[in-house]
């Protein structure tokens, strides 16, 4: 090698030094300011079986560009930085060596390695010279890893970031999403620096600022994320991390391009303990939670931090540490951090997706629980209603019972007591006693008839009542007939109301039997509009209406009609008597 | 040929009342008046009366058992159950056991004799309440228009009761009297009560068959 700014290969006679390749400037010449350097390599050209097969020079990296000369003639060049543009190549280079320049046997290759703009000299890799067909796949593989992969990574990171930040924007409470979105976005921006290799000079500083800010921001965001994931909330730690993050870019801004190597070297180094802290916190989280999910992130973090450490060492080769640990490898300058970081992003994305799915499941579970509760409540409520209705029914039934009991007490009871008293006084003759007792039995039958629990159809109740009367009337020579004219379907009358209706009918029929001297009696039950009408009509001489001793009976009938909210009409004429009771249907229906 | 009558009644007052009514009627012949179920069975075996008047509340057994005994052994014997109030439940239980008529305890002497004659002549009384219950026992709704799907007549009931019998029960259940029913169906009141007696006999057979069927189901037979 020879340090010289010459535009063409310096003469062989000059003070060339022999160096092993790769020749890493900072390692080989620590403390010496980098400069444009020429490397000269002698190699043998042996044309293959196919004549004219092209040969090529493969350079894994040539960060700042340069020129390739063969046997003193230019064979190709890689663009160098200029006054207007700043270039840092991440990609490998493959330079085809024209067959015309090669000669069988020994050949001389000279490569000019351009001076890096920011003074961050890199060095010269171990090149490969050989048939193009052999070198092409090697070149393409490296190109894929150092150029295509970052492109994909940048695109995916920015997309995911936008998506996750949108979620966070809509749901501010999901801070983890916000941090992840931020980290992914910053990583995407950082990765862009590997994709965009040429930058106009006036934007170079801004570009490096962006790079540093994104790198630092990514690490800080990951650190906060790890803390939050572990359930640790230390605002001052988070503030300190944010402050340190700003420190690098501010330093670069204040010092200009000249301080960039220092910023790179010392500020970035400061993130190594942060990375280690992330690993420790993550391992602690994993230890506490002991789930596969909890293990994913720390594992990815460890790998990423290790790759970061690796990259740092490769870049700066501290005290030859990298050389000691990985001799020969460092010279390849293969940076691993963005693959490691991709791993973290994938792990994080997986975890957040798992969280998202978990949330959905929890939501569904909650919905289900809610539905069950609502159903339970509904059941309880309907049970309550049923109980209430039952109570109401029982109450109504109790009331009905009470009414009928009072009726029996006042009617049958008093009749028995009055009869007893009269018999003991000797005031009643045999036939009168029998009549009184028959009256009591008839009363009792009425009460029993209307109290039959399951039969509440008044048509049947009245039918039974008339059926019992039929024999009695026929025996007395009175021809009975009855018609029931109510709408189809059961006529559900309240038991007490039924009892009142039958009492009226009983009274009327008793009067006919005793006083009317009739030959026919007609009983009619019909519903006219809102009124239920019960009619007892005979063809006697009118005695059924106003016999002296049944005035009380008539009054009784009127009182019962009033009780039912209806009225009693008695039509009395030479052609017979008609007792007509009209009550509102609503008052008697159950 | 006078109709022989057996009276089964544990209340002496009513034994006397019924006996007097039977004795007073020239067409009736009182073969005995007993007060226990055991005695009733013995008299049934010995005398084979044409008509038995039986009270339900006997000191040694339920009157229904005596009715069942008579109905299964002496199907020609007409059974008249004595009831205090003519309440449907007791009457129906008696009919299911084999009774074909019922008599109110307070009936006057003429009515008692008339009831025995009517029953023996082939007719039975039926009140609307009992008609409803009989329909229910045959699993036929009282009002077919209300919902034939809800309460379809079972195949056996349909086979047991004729259409006219079912119609008669339905009209009775609606509270119509025999005269009206006879007019509606174009038959005499006498035929109406004859139908009723047939229905009662079918109900007894039906309920016995059901009891046998249920016993079989329970593994008793």
SS3 A487: coil
Residues A211-221: pLDDT tens digits? 888 888 988 98
Both A199 and A287 in one domain: the answer is: yes
User: In this structure, is residue A377 part of a structural domain?
Assistant: no
Both A181 and A294 in one domain: the answer is: yes
Point out the domain boundary residue: A350, A369, A388. A369
Distance from CA of B14 to the nearest CA of A (A): 15
Whole-number Å distance between alpha carbons of A246 and B35: 119
User: In this structure, is residue A491 part of a structural domain?
Assistant: yes
Interface of A with B (CB under 8 A): 438, 441, 444-445, 448-449, 452, 455, 457, 459-464, 466-468, 470-471, 475, 480-484, 488-489
Burial call A264-287: b when 16+ CB within 10 Å, e when fewer? beebbeebeebbebbbebbbebbe
Whole-number Å distance between alpha carbons of A319 and A315: 12
**pLDDT at residue number B144:** 46
Distance from CA of A571 to the nearest CA of B (A): 26
Domains in chain B: boundaries: 3-120, 128-218
**pLDDT at residue number A207:** 83
Residues B60-98: pLDDT tens digits? 888 899 999 999 999 899 999 988 876 777 888 888 888
- As a whole number, the mean pLDDT across chain A is 82
User: In this structure, is residue A468 part of a structural domain?
Assistant: yes
Q: Check CB contact of B80 with chain A, cutoff 8 Å.
A: no
The DSSP H or E segment spanning A82 is none
Are A175 and A224 in contact, with CB atoms under 8 Å apart?
A: no
Lookup: tokens for A539: 């063809």
Both A309 and A347 in one domain: the answer is: yes
Does the fold of domain B128-218 match that of domain B3-120? no
CATH class held by domain B3-120: alpha beta
DSSP A15-29: ------SSEEHHHHS
Q: Check CB contact of B189 with chain A, cutoff 8 Å.
A: no
Instruction: Give the CATH number of the domain where residue A73 resides.
Output: 2.60.120.260
Query: Does residue A146 have a pLDDT over 70?
Result: yes
If you average pLDDT over residues B182-197, what whole number do you get? 86
User: In this structure, is residue A131 part of a structural domain?
Assistant: no
Omega before A110 cis (within 30°)? no
Which among A5-9, A295-299, A462-466, B79-83 has the top mean pLDDT? Answer: B79-83
N- to C-terminal Cα distance for chain A?
Answer: 119
Number of structural domains (chain A) is 3
Omega before A22 cis (within 30°)? yes
Both A485 and A350 in one domain: the answer is: no
Both A352 and A267 in one domain: the answer is: yes
Instruction: Give the CATH number of the domain where residue A570 resides.
Output: 3.30.565.10
Q: Compare CB distances from B145 to A459, A467, A488 and report the shortest one's residue.
A: A488
A270 φ, ψ to 5°? -60, -20
Residues A65-118: pLDDT tens digits? 888 998 888 888 888 888 788 888 888 899 888 888 888 888 888 898 887 766
Burial call B53-91: b when 16+ CB within 10 Å, e when fewer? bbbbebeeeebbebbbbbbeebeebbbbbbbbbbbbebb
DSSP A380-424: HHHHHHHHHHHHHHHHHHHHHHHHHHHHHIIIIIHHHHHHHHHHH
SS3 A512: helix
Whole-number Å distance between alpha carbons of A232 and A227: 5
Split at pLDDT 50, 70, 90, the class of B145 is very low
Point out the domain boundary residue: A323, A351, A369. A369
Both A363 and A330 in one domain: the answer is: yes
Both A119 and A246 in one domain: the answer is: no
CA distances from residue B24 to B9, B13, B119 in whole angstroms, order as listed: 18, 16, 18
Q: Compare CB distances from B111 to A455, A462, A471 and report the shortest one's residue.
A: A471
Lookup: tokens for A205: 């500083």
Are A190 and A172 in contact, with CB atoms under 8 Å apart?
A: no
Lookup: tokens for A557: 């009938």
**pLDDT at residue number B149:** 42
User: In this structure, is residue A334 part of a structural domain?
Assistant: yes
Both A292 and A162 in one domain: the answer is: yes
Point out the domain boundary residue: A327, A352, A369. A369
If you average pLDDT over residues A150-160, what whole number do you get? 87
Query: Does residue A119 have a pLDDT over 60?
Result: no
Boundaries of domain holding A471: 457-588
Are A174 and A167 in contact, with CB atoms under 8 Å apart?
A: yes
Both A98 and A159 in one domain: the answer is: no
Whole-number Å distance between alpha carbons of B13 and A436: 19
3-state SS, A40-95, equals: EEEEEECCCCCCCCCEEEEECCCCCCEEEEECCEEEEEECCCCCCEEECCCCCEEE
Instruction: Write down the ipTM of this complex.
Output: 0.74
The DSSP H or E segment spanning A121 is none
Mutation pick from B128, B134, B172 vs chain A, by most beta carbons of A within 10 Å, is B128
Are A516 and A547 in contact, with CB atoms under 8 Å apart?
A: no
Mutation pick from B175, B178, B184, B196 vs chain A, by most beta carbons of A within 10 Å, is B175
* Region B128-218: CATH code: 1.10.10
């Amino acid at each position: 090698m020879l340090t010289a700014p010459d535009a063409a290969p310096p003469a062989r006679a000059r003070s060339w030094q022999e160096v092993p390749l790769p020749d890493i400037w900072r390692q080989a010449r620590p403390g010496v300011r980098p400069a444009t350097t020429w490397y000269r390599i002698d190699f043998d050209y042996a044309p293959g079986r196919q004549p004219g097969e092209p040969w090529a020079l493969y350079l894994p990296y040539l960060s700042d560009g340069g020129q390739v000369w063969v046997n003193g003639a230019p064979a190709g060049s890689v663009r160098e930085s200029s006054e207007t543009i700043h270039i840092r190549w991440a990609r490998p280079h493959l330079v085809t060596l024209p067959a015309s320049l090669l000669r069988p046997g020994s050949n001389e290759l000279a490569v000019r390695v351009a001076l890096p703009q920011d003074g961050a000299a890199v060095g010269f890799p171990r090149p490969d010279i050989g048939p193009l067909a052999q070198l092409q796949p090697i070149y393409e593989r490296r190109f894929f890893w150092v150029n295509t992969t970052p492109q994909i990574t940048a695109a995916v990171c920015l997309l995911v970031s936008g998506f996750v930040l949108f979620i966070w924007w809509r749901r501010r409470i999901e801070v983890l999403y916000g941090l992840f979105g931020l980290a992914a976005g910053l990583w995407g921006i950082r990765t862009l620096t590997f994709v965009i290799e040429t930058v106009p000079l006036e934007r170079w500083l801004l570009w490096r600022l962006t790079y540093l800010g994104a790198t630092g921001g990514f690490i800080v965001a990951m650190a906060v994320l790890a803390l939050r994931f572990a359930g640790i909330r230390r605002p001052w730690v988070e503030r300190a991390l944010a402050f340190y993050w700003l420190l690098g870019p501010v330093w670069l801004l204040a010092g200009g391009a000249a301080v960039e190597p220092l910023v790179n070297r010392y500020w970035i180094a400061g993130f190594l303990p942060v990375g280690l802290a992330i690993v420790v916190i993550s391992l602690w989280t994993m230890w506490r939670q002991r789930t596969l999910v909890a293990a994913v992130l720390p594992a990815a973090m460890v790998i990423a931090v290790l790759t970061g450490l690796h990259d740092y060492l490769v870049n700066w080769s501290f005290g030859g540490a990298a050389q000691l640990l990985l001799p020969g490898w460092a010279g390849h300058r293969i940076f691993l951090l963005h693959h490691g970081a991709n791993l973290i992003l994938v792990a994080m994305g997986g975890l957040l997706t798992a969280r998202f799915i978990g949330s959905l499941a929890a939501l569904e579970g909650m919905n289900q629980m809610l539905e069950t509760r609502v159903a339970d409540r509904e059941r309880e409520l309907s049970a309550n209603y049923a109980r209430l209705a039952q109570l109401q029914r029982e109450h109504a039934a109790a009331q009905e019972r009470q009414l009928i009991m009072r009726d029996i007490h006042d009617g049958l009871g008093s009749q028995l007591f009055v009869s007893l008293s009269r018999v003991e006084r000797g005031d009643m003759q045999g036939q009168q006693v029998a009549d009184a007792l028959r009256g009591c039995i008839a009363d009792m039958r009425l009460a029993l008839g209307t109290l039959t629990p399951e039969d509440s159809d008044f048509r049947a109740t009245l039918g039974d009542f008339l059926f019992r009367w039929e024999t009695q009337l026929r025996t007395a020579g009175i021809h009975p007939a009855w018609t029931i004219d109510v709408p189809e379907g059961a006529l559900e009358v309240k038991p007490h109301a039924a009892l009142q209706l039958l009492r009226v009918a009983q009274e009327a029929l008793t009067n006919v039997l005793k006083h009317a001297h009739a030959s026919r009696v007609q009983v009619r039950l019909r519903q006219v509009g809102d009124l239920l009408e019960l009619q007892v009509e005979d063809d006697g001489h009118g005695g059924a209406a106003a016999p002296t001793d049944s005035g009380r009976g008539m009054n009784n009938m009127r009182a019962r009609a009033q009780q039912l909210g209806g009225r009693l009409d008695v039509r009395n004429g030479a052609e017979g008597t008609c007792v007509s009771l009209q009550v509102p249907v609503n008052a008697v229906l159950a | 040929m006078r109709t022989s009558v057996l009276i089964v009644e544990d209340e002496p007052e009513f034994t006397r009342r019924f006996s007097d009514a039977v004795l007073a009627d020239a067409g009736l012949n009182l073969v005995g008046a007993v007060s226990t179920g055991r005695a009733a069975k013995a008299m049934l075996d010995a005398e084979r009366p044409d008509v038995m008047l039986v009270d339900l509340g006997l000191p040694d057994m339920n009157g229904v058992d005596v009715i069942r005994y008579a109905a299964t052994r002496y199907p020609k014997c007409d059974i008249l159950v004595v009831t205090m109030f003519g309440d449907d439940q007791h009457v129906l239980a008696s009919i299911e056991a084999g009774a074909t008529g019922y008599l109110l305890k307070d009936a006057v002497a003429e009515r008692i004799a008339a009831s025995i004659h009517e029953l023996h002549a082939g007719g039975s009384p039926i009140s609307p309440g009992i008609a409803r219950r009989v329909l229910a026992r045959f699993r036929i709704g009282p009002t077919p228009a209300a919902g034939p799907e809800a309460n379809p007549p079972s195949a056996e009931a349909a086979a047991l009761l004729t259409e006219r019998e079912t119609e008669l029960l339905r009209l009775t259940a609606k509270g119509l009297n025999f005269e009206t029913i006879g007019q509606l169906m174009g038959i005499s009141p006498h035929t109406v009560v004859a139908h009723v007696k047939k229905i009662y006999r079918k109900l007894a057979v039906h309920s016995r068959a059901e009891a046998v069927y249920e016993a079989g189901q329970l593994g008793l037979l």
